[in-house]
Structure 1
Amino acid sequence: MASNVGALLLLLLLAVWIGSPKVESLALQVEDDAIFRSSDGFSCPSPDPLLYYRPVIGILTHPGDGVNGRLSNATNASNIPASCVRFVESGGARVIPIIYNEPEDLIIQKLNLVNGVLLTGGWAKTGLYYDVAKKIFEIVLAKNDAGDHFPLLAVCLGFELLSMFISQNNDICERFYGEIRASTLQFSISETNGTLFERFPPDLLTKMSKECLAMQNHLFGISPKRLQENSALSSFFKILTTTADTNNEDYISTAQAYNYPVIAFQWHPEKNAFDWGSNEIPHSEDAVRVTQNTANYFISEARKSSSRPDDPVMLLSHLIYNHKPAYAGEGYDEVYIFT
């Protein structure tokens, strides 16, 4: 009986002590401590509270199956190259496919679940795809204007579309001969600080200007002269690199927005590490470093986004993991098809 009374008194004293201001202060101190202590005694700095370490990127699908109808002739088919998905994943993010011909309210819902957007290469410059890509671009700008650091990476066709949207001229792009070839990137800037190249190793930047480490595959682009002559484009984009096509005509190969986290490539940073459909794609260690550094930069920008999913279950239901890529055999090695 005495032992029971003693135990009861001990519990009462413990309850009073836990509720004391001193203990509450200690709890807050531990909660705010900048050090996580692991069970083995080592200390690790806490993550930056301003960054989001579970970023998700929305990738807009492109009309067709991506391989000239070999996998699907469905009129409503659209695709994402698996290389684009792996590119994003290699930087440390997950992917939600934004299917261009799904209902607009579903597209908006998905955009509120992601921390950035990728526009892939392709050919479609009219119709529903054009309209949806333009709407997404407008939403990206609006999110940034509202204070959310929300990046956009536009590749090949994506760059051409941005040029059309910003200039409000659907004929702004010019004919270039940059099909299925690797090239150098000639830097138009003397200082990389503040650009996507700022964290690239100096030796890699030098090699990119001397060795063919950037995969090109396009028929159109925009020249430095035409961009500079267009006030809307020249005030939006800073030219980072140029490349000469097979006729020795220069086009802009990399551009970055002055006031938004928007990056545009005429080349394909995803291909070096993840596409094997052409012998022209560079696969050297340095070429793969180009892919890795580009992916790291893009996802580092996405981590700055303040967007958080309101419904984690809904997010999981939209992830690319709910879909399986199809083996194409040529062109794209694998492609995600949506019908």
Structure 2
Amino acid sequence: MRRTVRVAAIQAEPKWLRLSEGAEQVVELIGNAAAAGARLIAFPETFLPGFPWWRWVDSNQWNAEYSTRCRENSMTRDGAEMRRITAAARDHGVHVVLGFGERQDRRIYMAQAVIDENGDIVSIRRKAGLNSIERKVFASGTPNLPAVQHGVIGKVGALSGQENQRPLLTRALRADEEQIHIAAWPGHPEGDAPGPDSAPTVSRMYALEAHAYVVAPCAVVGSAAWDRRGPQTTRRTGQARIYGSSGTDIVTPLTAGVEGILYADLEVGAVAPDRREVDLAPRHRARRGQQAAARTAPARRLGTDRWAVPLIRGTSSDGMTAC
């Protein structure tokens, strides 16, 4: 049975390092998208409290100050801000995929929450494969395979930033016949230069390889990101995209750097014939690999995370096999 699902990709500038204002912004955007008929609303990577582009500025004093502010303005998974956001999802009856900095004790993680139409947090994943800049601010999460969420709007999966290029993670989602994929991006002060690692290229390739819709929300990065310090630029960058399984835009993107919400109506239903023919063998191989990993590697439940299956074998101090 096929159904039409309206999705929304957020293209907006975060309320940099201001958690309370950022939570209000998220609630407002959820309401606006729901009023336009969206049933799935996707936010950029680390939208709360904003991706730390200030790490590119070579000033140890500034970086120390902003790292402290980033930690203080990051959100806990059971805090008042998260409760407001889940209440908004419940009140509007929409699904939300939110990228946020998750604070636990003195550490911050790059987290991605999936919230269902009842306001329940279905899963929270902490990004494990951090780049050199991200590691200066965030702690690495527990390596675990992502899971596709099966719901009334279809089979939905989500990854953040460079995770969309990691074969082991993408194959895990493809093995479960993902239909809608959220590829969340933080934007970039210089925009997306053409190349194999740019957000549009990665998102397109994912759509082609997975034969799935790709909803790619993206943060707008402007002068406000620098808080009147560091490089001053009047150029605003960041462009959300929504791709079909052919890797082409389903709808015309918004102008880069202009805040707004990009909508598309997706026809979600049975797996397409071309996907069955092209992806059948890889899917079976990936599934067999997951079953083998489950037999040989222990797993444990991490709060609202799904079961964590190690990517690389090794033994930690608590006896858990992990990277």
Tell me the TM-score normalized by structure 2. Answer: 0.29
More contact order relative to length (CA 8 Å, sep ≥ 6): 1
Higher helix share: 1
The higher radius of gyration belongs to 1
